[in-house]
Structure 1
Amino acid sequence: MLVMCKKIYPSITVDYREVPSGIPDILKEKYCFIEMKRMKTGDYVINEQVVVERKTKDDFVVSLIEGRLFKQCYHLRKSAFIPTLIIEGNPFCTGHAITREAIRGALLSVSVAWQIPINYTSSVEDTVQMLWMIAQQNQNQQQVLYRRGYKPKTLYKRQQYFLQGLPMVGPKIAAELLQHFGTIEGILKADEKSLLAVPGMGKERIRKIKMFMEGSAKKLASRGL
């Protein structure tokens, strides 16, 4: 996460196909750490914890008509992240030949059967605000949601649990690190070149982890970090 003005800013991985929407550029202006890549599932991954599928009102309806919607729901639920769907605009107000009952049924299926929360926005700017709020809330609450009261039973799960206490490390990155290095000790002793060889690791993520491990507790506390 980027550190600016004594605040810790969220990290958001963005599918490169979202570039034409203008959303990634606006998020950068809000000082999010943005990583662009081709994503197999979802359009945004926030803090390595939440995966967001963004659909305009027309895309939602077309994906329903073409049979893509529920396949995407399956992959969202199958992912290692908390899934949510953002619908930009009113899906009941499009020019497509589909009944209100079909749209309503699809919305209920997504939220109830697939248990994927739906968030509605009115514009690109509103979507940016929604993503920003999700990122901030997740950043403030992830310690409570993911670590408090959770007691993994296997050694491998305990190792993943340990690694997720590091900055910008979620379940996916933790698994990649363990697969690459084999042990916690190997990860903690690795240099930047070795860490860069791990999928998903970038220089900013490594810098934050190194600062976390090597920084003086008193100095970090005095800076609000």
Structure 2
Amino acid sequence: MEILIDNRETYILDLLKEYNPKVIRLPIGDIFILKENEGVLLERKTPSDFISSLRSNRLWEQLLKMIKNDKIGLYKIKRRILIIHGQFDIEDAQIFGALLEILFVYEIPIVFVNDDLEFKEFFRILVQREDKGLNDKIPQERWYRKRFREELPEKDKKIYILASLPYIGNILAKNLFDYFGSIASVANASKKNLTNVKGIGEKRAKLIYKMFH
């Protein structure tokens, strides 16, 4: 696997330096995950960049280039993903319409990550799945295993419950439980105490606090 990053994306380069990415000028997209002779093309936007590019129509120009180009150099683009990186509070009908158009007209999947931690975790899993070919599988029937969660250790059950709540996810759920020791303590925590947990800043702490109060 080789990671190519556009030379204008210095912020991404710093986040993904552990992959020893190759820095080049990509004609389209921000990141190209390359395996042998094909790869996955990622376009990353912050919420503010998404909105400004939507209003200027630059977004549609970029997405059209992504779907019209089958290759970057000699390498085939086998799939395309749009990542919206940052807390995105959608309140505008135009934004909902744009997201639906991206999904159904341009047929580009959209992934939302709230912060750098989630971005890095998503990227790690994406690279891992691409390397193993897991994203190219034919869909298979999967039987519902009713007792799966019941068989978890008690601590893992509680982490699982926390992870299912908005604004938290798997990594923060574990960090929260390790710090507070119980779901009740998380629910009763102040915004200041929440910011003591690894990966939680003031904005995320405010959202979690508001959810419980």
Aligned: 1:67 with 2:57: yes
Q: 1:143 to 1:128 in 2, by over 3 A?
A: closer
**What is the TM-score of this pair, normalised by structure 1?**
0.52
**1:60–1:91 contact (8 Å) kept in structure 2:** no
Aligned: 1:107 with 2:99: yes
Partner of 2:28: 41
CA shift, 1:144, in A, is 5.3
Q: 1:65 to 1:27 in 2, by over 3 A?
A: same
1:51 match: secondary structure = strand
Partner of 2:5: 14
RMSD: 2.0
CA shift, 1:142, in A, is 7.1
- Unaligned 5+ runs, structure 2: 71-76, 138-213
CA shift, 1:78, in A, is 1.7
Distance 1:114 1:144 in 2: 20
Distance 1:34 1:119 in 2: 21
Q: Aligned runs of 1:63-142 on 2, under 5 Å?
A: 63-80=53-70, 81=77, 82-92=79-89, 100-141=92-133
Q: 1:73 to 1:52 in 2, by over 3 A?
A: same
Distance 2:66 2:116 in 1: 22
Distance 1:140 1:62 in 2: 37
CA shift, 1:107, in A, is 0.4
Regions of 4+ moved over 6 Å: none
**2:3–2:21 contact (8 Å) kept in structure 1:** yes
2:94 match: secondary structure = helix
Alignment counterpart, residue 25 of structure 1, candidates 5, 8, 14: 14
2:21 match: secondary structure = strand
Partner of 1:217: none
Aligned-residue sequence identity (percent) comes to: 31
Partner of 1:189: none
Amino acid at match of 1:108: L
CA shift, 1:137, in A, is 0.7
- Unaligned 5+ runs, structure 1: 1-9, 94-98, 146-225
Distance 2:65 2:3 in 1: 19
**What is the TM-score of this pair, normalised by structure 2?**
0.55
Q: 1:18 to 1:125 in 2, by over 3 A?
A: farther
Distance 1:143 1:121 in 2: 19
CA shift digits 1:105-129 (9 cap, x unpaired)? 0000001110000000011232122
Q: Which has the higher contact order (CA 8 A, sep 6+)?
A: 1
Amino acid at match of 2:46: T
Q: 1:40 to 1:141 in 2, by over 3 A?
A: same
Distance 2:58 2:133 in 1: 32
